[in-house]
């Protein structure tokens, strides 16, 4: 199958490699900035274009990977659906829930597969936490604490630092934890949020969101774009019989994508803690879904639900009051 990468920045480059690792052919690289499309196209032997509509309309494209800034997702999902393409879209599905609903309607009408990259479900560490908790090893889980953060990214034309575009740490970063908590422990009933970035561009954001789940579990999620450097993820699950903890600083996640076709080395060195990047696992799941197998681990409705929680959190930050989801 042939893929068009739409948005050839940081995530476009990563997903082109992941799709290629899965045996897909990168046929087209499209970016509003032609030089970015050309640079990625050169690596994959693809065609570079700046005309996004033309890229979506190409007959030789089966899958469109939307890896452009969040505010562009809604329009691109609708256009790709109308063109009859299978769609891989980076999270968040769209900038607003209203846009997300419109996009989903277009996808359902066209009957095309849509996958949204809520990648934390594919991180082995988080999957291990979920499975361990479900096995009952720490008894009845009552409290969850997560941290995710690092330097505030810039992005092309500084879009990450513009709240109107990125939604700050809540909508861009903590949406990962909202999705994973909902996936692992069920629906969220109420949110309360305090954050720094409100409605003006800034170089940092810090957000705390308390979630009350329908099951009664309480979760505290903290997201930072205020760290001077690096990126760190932590999780702590407290249950009646013990705790599960994870800290990426103690056990860094080494992502070493396999380079297919490369000759095996003579010397065997200690292997990476993860055999496959979670970003590749997403692609494998999506490809199986396109092939008519079971629904992917993340459904479009899951992506919309995570965005809805993020939107409720932002409303809470604005009003200073808890919001019922
Ligand atoms: N899952 C994750 O771990 C993760 C991490 C970072 C970013 N993301 C998400 O991935 C998406 C892209 O983020 P990024 O870090 O790659 O951003 P980026 O700014 O590095 O790259 C975006 C690219 O899209 C291009 N672009 C802008 N408008 C376009 C349009 N209308 N059509 C086509 N191309 C356009 C830009 O020129 C740029 O090359 C965002 O939605 C972001 O939230 C996900």
**Per-residue pLDDT band at 266 (split at 50, 70, 90):** very low
The residue written with tokens 């009859």 in the block is 84
Question: Residues 182, 107: contact at Cβ < 8 Å?
Answer: no
pLDDT at residue 259 in the model: 55
Residue of 12, 221, 237, 258 whose CA lies nearest to 130: 237
* Cβ of 68 less than 6 Å from ligand 1: yes
Which residue is closest in CA terms to ligand 1's atom 5? 11
Residue of 132, 310, 313 whose CA lies nearest to 238: 132
pLDDT in tens, 103-150: 999 999 999 999 999 999 999 889 999 999 999 989 999 999 999 999
Residues 94 and 43 reside in one and the same domain = yes
On the question of pLDDT at 83 being above 90, the answer is yes
Residues 151 and 216 reside in one and the same domain = yes
b/e map of 119-134 (b: 16 or more CB within 10 Å)? bbbbbebbbebbeebe
- How many Cβ atoms are within 10 Å of 33's Cβ, its own excluded? 14
* Cβ of 33 less than 6 Å from ligand 1: yes
Residues 64 and 175 reside in one and the same domain = no
**Residue 292 has which token pair?**
């008519």
Q: What is the mean pLDDT of residues 243-263?
A: 65
**CA 133 / ligand 1 centre spacing (Å):** 34
Residues 65 and 100 reside in one and the same domain = yes
Length of the chain: 325
Residues 170 and 267 reside in one and the same domain = yes
User: What is the bridge-based pairing of β-strands 218-224 and 141-150?
Assistant: parallel
Question: Residues 67, 3: contact at Cβ < 8 Å?
Answer: no
Range of the domain at 94: 2-112
Q: Which residues fall within 8 angstroms of residue 178, CB to CB, at 6 or more apart?
A: 188, 209, 211, 221, 306, 309, 310, 313
Q: How far apart are CA 78 and CA 73, in angstroms?
A: 9
Q: Assign residue 139 the CATH number of its domain.
A: 3.30.360.10
- How many Cβ atoms are within 10 Å of 51's Cβ, its own excluded? 11
Which residue is closest in CA terms to ligand 1's atom 25? 7
Q: Which of 76, 96, 112 is the last residue of a domain?
A: 112
Q: What is the pTM of this model?
A: 0.93
Residues 289 and 170 reside in one and the same domain = yes
pLDDT in tens, 7-47: 999 999 999 999 999 999 999 999 999 999 999 999 999 99
On the question of pLDDT at 173 being above 60, the answer is yes
**Per-residue pLDDT band at 294 (split at 50, 70, 90):** confident
Average pLDDT, the chain: 91
Residue 196 burial (CB < 10 Å; 0-12/13-18/19+)?
Answer: middle
**CA 10 / ligand 1 centre spacing (Å):** 7
* Cβ of 155 less than 6 Å from ligand 1: yes
* Cβ of 11 less than 6 Å from ligand 1: yes
Q: Which of 67, 91, 112 is the last residue of a domain?
A: 112
Q: What is the mean pLDDT of residues 256-285?
A: 65
Q: How far apart are CA 103 and CA 276, in angstroms?
A: 31
Q: How far apart are CA 247 and CA 170, in angstroms?
A: 20
> Is pLDDT larger for residue 54 or for residue 264?
54
Residues 305 and 202 reside in one and the same domain = yes
Residue of 263, 253, 257, 262 whose CA lies nearest to 276: 257
Residues 126 and 103 reside in one and the same domain = no
Q: How far apart are CA 180 and CA 34, in angstroms?
A: 36
Q: How far apart are CA 225 and CA 15, in angstroms?
A: 23
* Cβ of 32 less than 6 Å from ligand 1: yes
């Amino acid at each position: 199958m042939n893929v068009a990468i739409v948005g050839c920045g940081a995530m476009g480059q990563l997903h082109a490699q992941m799709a290629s690792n899965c045996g897909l052919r990168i046929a087209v690289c499209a970016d509003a900035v032609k030089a970015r499309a050309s640079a990625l196209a050169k690596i994959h032997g693809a065609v570079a274009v700046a005309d996004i509509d033309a890229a979506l309309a190409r007959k030789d494209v089966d899958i469109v990977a939307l890896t452009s800034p969040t505010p562009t997702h809604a329009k691109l999902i609708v256009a790709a659906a109308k063109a009859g393409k299978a769609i891989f879209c980076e999270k968040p599905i769209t900038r607003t829930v209203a846009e997300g609903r419109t996009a989903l309607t277009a996808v359902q009408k066209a009957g095309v597969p849509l996958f949204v990259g809520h990648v934390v479900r594919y991180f082995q560490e988080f999957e291990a936490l979920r499975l361990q908790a479900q096995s009952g090893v720490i008894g009845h889980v009552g409290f969850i604490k997560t941290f995710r953060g690092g330097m505030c990214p810039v992005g092309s034309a500084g879009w990450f630092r513009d709240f109107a575009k990125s939604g700050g740490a809540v909508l861009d970063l903590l949406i990962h934890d909202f999705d994973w908590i909902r996936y692992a422990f069920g629906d969220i009933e109420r949110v309360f949020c305090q954050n720094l970035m409100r409605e003006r561009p800034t170089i940092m954001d810090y957000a705390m969101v308390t979630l009350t789940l329908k099951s009664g579990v309480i979760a505290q999620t903290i997201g930072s774009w205020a760290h001077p450097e690096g990126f760190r993820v932590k999780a702590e699950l407290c249950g009646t019989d013990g705790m599960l903890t994870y800290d990426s600083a103690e056990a860094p996640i080494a992502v070493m994508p396999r380079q297919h076709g490369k000759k095996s080395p003579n010397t065997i060195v200690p292997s990476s803690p993860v055999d496959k990047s979670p970003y590749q696992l997403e692609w494998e799941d999506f490809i199986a879904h396109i092939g008519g197998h079971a629904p992917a681990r993340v459904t479009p409705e899951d992506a919309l639900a995570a965005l809805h929680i993020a939107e409720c959190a932002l409303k809470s930050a604005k009003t200073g009051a808890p919001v019922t989801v």
